[in-house]
Structures are given as structure tokens and as C-alpha cells.
Amino acid sequence: MSWLPKSPKARRRLWVVAAVAPVLALAVGLSLYAMRDSVTFFFSPSEATPENAPAGRVVRLGGLVETGSVVRDGSGQVAFAVTDNVATTRVVYQGDLPDLFAEGEGVVAQGAFLPDRSFRATQVLAKHDETYMPREVADRLKAKGEWRPVDSSPATP
């Protein structure tokens, strides 16, 4: 007894499927391999370990700008610390910061860790109004028990 169907039409379909399946699998595999560099992972300072975020890999680092940590020099370079109230990471950024960048506020920096575990940012994103914090940052702060949302309900007389 053969495992092939008896009908010539069904046998032809089986051979077509058997020929197309590996080609399709190869195409999907190559597509996923090509997109691996375009994926940017998000970490909070306490999650950004050398195993999770190795030096040189582009990632996003989010948290709160530590109060008193912003240092600007004359060449336009800004250094500040990002914290999730568990760990702190030093961030260095060359360029203009967003107008809404402030100490104690939420920030997401995109860049890469250097071998000394400081973070070289290529882009810095700040909140856009007084009640917004990036979702990833808010989720990480909630998980750590540090989330203090602003009460947006109107006061009743």
C-alpha cells in the first residue's frame, strides 16, 4: 500500500505542495533574518544587563531623568542619568534635547551601551504633555511599584 494518493490529480497537487513548502519556508526564514537588525528592544535601567543589552546593540532605554543629574558642556553634549528607582544608567547625548525634557520626568533614549556600560544616545524622546509618560516606562514603573499617576479628575467643590 502506497502513501501516495491513487488519483493522478491528487498526486500532482501533493508534489506541488511538497515543492512549494520548502521554498516558502526559505523565503520566510530569509525575511526574518533580514529584519533582525531593525528590531529595537526596550529596557529599563534595572533590566539592561550585559546579557540582555550587550555593548554596541541598538536598544531603547527608558525611565525617569534623575533629579540633579543633567550636566551640559559647551560643545552641546549633555550627560544625565536615567533611573527606574532600582538602578541608574548614565546617558550621554550629543545634540539638542526636546523642549519638554526635564529632571524627574519620563524619557526614552535610543542608542547603544558602551563597553563601560554607559549609554550613548542617538535620539532622546520626552513626554508631550503633563500627564503622558511612554507606555513602556509606565509599565516598568508600575511593575516596580514606583508609579504615581497624576489625578486627572476635576476637583469637586
Sketch the domain layout of the chain as residue ranges: 41-126
CATH topology of domain 41-126: OB fold (Dihydrolipoamide Acetyltransferase, E2P) (2.40.50)
> How distant is the alpha carbon of residue 41 from its chain centre?
3
Any long-range contacts for 126-132 (C-beta under 8 Å, 24+ apart)? 126/97, 126/98, 126/99, 126/100, 126/101, 126/102, 127/100, 128/100, 132/106
Residue 132 in marked binding region: yes
Tell me what pLDDT residue 116 has.
92
Tell me what pLDDT residue 2 has.
74
Residue 93 in marked binding region: no
Q: How much is the mean pLDDT over the chain?
A: 83
Tell me what pLDDT residue 155 has.
45
Burial bucket for residue 113 (CB in 10 Å: 0-12, 13-18, 19+): buried
Tell me what pLDDT residue 89 has.
93
Q: Please report, rounded to a whole number, the percentage of residues in the chain having pLDDT higher than 90.
A: 33
- 14 or 130, which is more confident: 14
- The mean pLDDT value for 56-69 works out to 90
